[in-house]
Amino acid sequence: MTDLSRLGVTETVRLTTQRDLTARLVVEEALGRIADADPRLNAFSRVLADEARAEASARDDQLAGGAAPGPLHGVPIAVKEEIDVAGTVTTYGGEANSTPVAADAELVRRLRAAGAVIVGKTTMPEFGAFPYTESASRGLTRNPWDHARTPGGSSGGTASAVSAGLVPVAIGGDGGGSIRIPSACCGLFGLKPQRGRVTTSPEPHLWWALGTAGPLTRTVLDSAVVYDAIRGNLDTDLYRAGGTESFTEAAQREPGRLRIGWTTKPVTLGVKPDPLHVQVLEDTVRLLTELGHDVVEVDPRYPDPTAAFVPQFFAGIRTEADQVEHFERLERRTRETYRLGSWVRPGVVRWALKETEKISAKANLVFQDVDVLLTPTIAHRPPPVGQLDGAGTVLASLRAMPAIAYAALWNVAGNPAAAVPCGTGPDGLPTSVQLVGRTDDEATLFSLAAQVEKARPWPLLAGDDA
């Protein structure tokens, strides 16, 4: 019998559209895995069991009635807490909202239109402020590879659920590394798309120029298929990406010979990469060279993104906090962050957005000489849970530095960047490298990552051998 926990997006769609499996059976199996494993992981803040069963049955009825199946037909998908799902409270990882929203976010509507089944909401730190999935109301979310370790964040519940095989794909968000960091900690493929690639509706933006949303998956092709289902904009979106190339097609073709620059230099001063991450990057350099690419060490001459990132970080937190129903229920650390950001007036945000354009131009100078930049994804090994215990805003920010040291610049610059699994280290935890692409060039990252995946297969589930 097929082990449904191992099914990815494309295989699930193949089996449900050919009627080898029903969507109802696939969803029931996912709900069973969630009920069995999630008490130990804390990946889900809410499971929509009854709603998911009804939605799955509707998918089966539509197929039986002759309707054409969508590209995500019958796929159970979980959604990060910050994204609206009709009938649920958009909690942002805390208790400050209490009223269920009436409508899906446009991203969720597109998932459903493509045939997906929404099975629940995944945990996050309040407002996604820090890259560890811990909060006063949700507790600690744990890494399936080692329950004493963090899955990263802020899309940590999303990563934990996918890595444990509870669902084949889940949606996260990335405002400073929050797709790539948990992907690196949990052995997943996670691509932050080009700024403006995926609509943020009903909000006009996610932390202004910093944030975007997208899937965390176990394979490159699965990510591409989901992105093709959700990409695109509405008139209300502040940002729009360019290009119309199919990511699914890109993930299924050879990338050709690329110029790839590599560096272990972090953007954040004072942070040093773990020696294992340096070794893994050097191993990847050798692999890419063997695959026929021109691979050279480069000095990216990173610009300092602080002046653009920090005001948008504070403004994003304050904007979301101003919209909640019960401000007094916010965590103490969140209220402290809110106070510390009081200097970020509208004029400061406008200035920061101008700085964003300057920093993006400087960061992209490296692509005059290379097609893709290769770096570590995170500087540290996945640390123990409890990183935010007793920490105020300043200490939590310092503890976040090793996680965001290679990631946050590309939120400011807007470029696509992907965490690519590289197997596991001697500690039994996943390893990862980051591929950064030119503006609007997710397609090259999908092609290159798929080539690496084929040449160096990675474990699909926590505990697997490569």
Q: What does the alpha-carbon distance between residue 173 and residue 192 come to, in Å, rounded to a whole number?
A: 8
- Containing 64, the helix (H) or strand (E) segment is helix 49-64
The CB density around residue 382, as the number of other CB atoms within 10 Å, is: 25
Q: What does the alpha-carbon distance between residue 380 and residue 210 come to, in Å, rounded to a whole number?
A: 23
Helices (H), 136-260: 156-163, 180-186, 220-230, 247-251
Catalytic amino acids? 80, 154, 178
3-state secondary structure of 391: coil
Cis peptide before 57 (omega within 30 of 0): no
> How many CA atoms are closer than 13 Å to the CA of 30, on its beta-carbon side?
35
Q: Which residues neighbour 210 within 8 Å (Cβ) at sequence distance 6 or greater?
A: 175, 176, 309, 312, 313, 316, 411, 412
The partner residues of 169 in beta bridges, in order of sequence, read 77, 217
Apex 166 CA angle, 160 and 167, nearest 5: 95
Q: Which residues neighbour 209 within 8 Å (Cβ) at sequence distance 6 or greater?
A: 195, 239, 308, 312, 353, 356, 411, 412, 414
Nearest to 370 by CA among 317, 430, 296: 296
Apex 164 CA angle, 160 and 168, nearest 5: 90
